Amino acid sequence: MKRHPSETVMNVLNERLNPDSIARGLSHLYKKSPSSKVDRGFWYNKSYPYFIQRFEETRPVNQLETVWIERASYVYSWIARIPVTKLDHRAIRELAALEHLFAGCTLQEVGTESYLGGLGDPKMAAHHGERIFGTGNGRPPVLIHQFVELANEIINYGSGRYNFPTTTKLLHFMFPGLFPIFDSNVCRVLYGNEYIEDYIKYHAYVFALQDYLSGGKYSREILVEAERANLPPLRLVDLVLFNEV
């Protein structure tokens, strides 16, 4: 019987997240300089708090295209290539509205439920019954797929395929407590391959993390150490997995 991706991810998280790996991940935060000319980790750690701050500061005016040009430049500085972005205005409006509704939410408190819509829409019907964030405090029932699709329409060019490294970086900088970054390094650790353009894999990762942070073997250590380092827990998990490749 084929194992569901969320089970695979939960097993990896239970195996890879431990006091030793957490300490190794945190050690990268305190480097004084890059260790080599290809060490991008130094830039990631130095720029991260500023990027999170700027995303928060620009939230009140997040309907402006100039805001998304600035935000795209931050995302692509972690990709090391010149942006080719669509900056789709419809997607900007819709994702900007979701940002106001979900800003400040964390996986630990947002809750979860099943998506019950989409039966009249052939495209959305495939997601009927899919796990989504809880709808308390006026939040609408929104598929993870919808967040990903909107972010992809803004930060990338075209809608034929998802670019998860850029898309999930944008979502993480917007919602650092909800969306983890999903790149080839993390995919390799979680799934043993680099086939990253797979929505099911990302969806499984989001909710396996939610379950882990609610009661995983070393979830308390992750939460305590993240608070001590002034990091979102998802960023600490990313640090650990990125450096466990």
pTM of the full predicted structure?
0.95
Mapped to the 3 state alphabet, what secondary structure does the chain carry? Answer: CCCCHHHHHHHHHHHHCCHHHHHHHHHHHHCCCCCCCCCCHHHHHHHHHHHHHHHHHHHHHCCCHHHHHHHHHHHHHCCCCCCCCCCCHHHHHHHHHHHHHHCCCCHHHHCEEECCCCCCCHHHHCCCCCEEECCCCCCCCCCHHHHHHHHHHHHCCCCCCCCHHHHHHHHHHHCCCCCCCCCHHHHHHHHCCCCCCCHHHHHHHHHHHHHHHCCCCCHHHHHHHHHHCCCCHHHHHHHHHHCCC
Confidence at residue 129, expressed as pLDDT on a 0 to 100 scale = 92
Confidence at residue 159, expressed as pLDDT on a 0 to 100 scale = 64
Q: What pLDDT digit, counting tens, does each position of 178-233 carry?
A: 999 999 999 999 999 999 989 999 999 999 999 999 999 999 999 999 999 999 99
Query: pLDDT digit of tens for each residue in the chain (245 aa)?
Result: 456 788 999 999 999 999 999 999 999 898 889 988 888 889 999 999 999 999 999 999 999 999 999 999 999 999 978 888 999 999 999 999 999 999 999 999 999 999 998 888 888 888 899 999 999 888 999 999 999 999 999 999 866 678 999 999 999 999 999 999 999 999 999 999 999 989 999 999 999 999 999 999 999 999 999 999 999 999 999 999 988 76
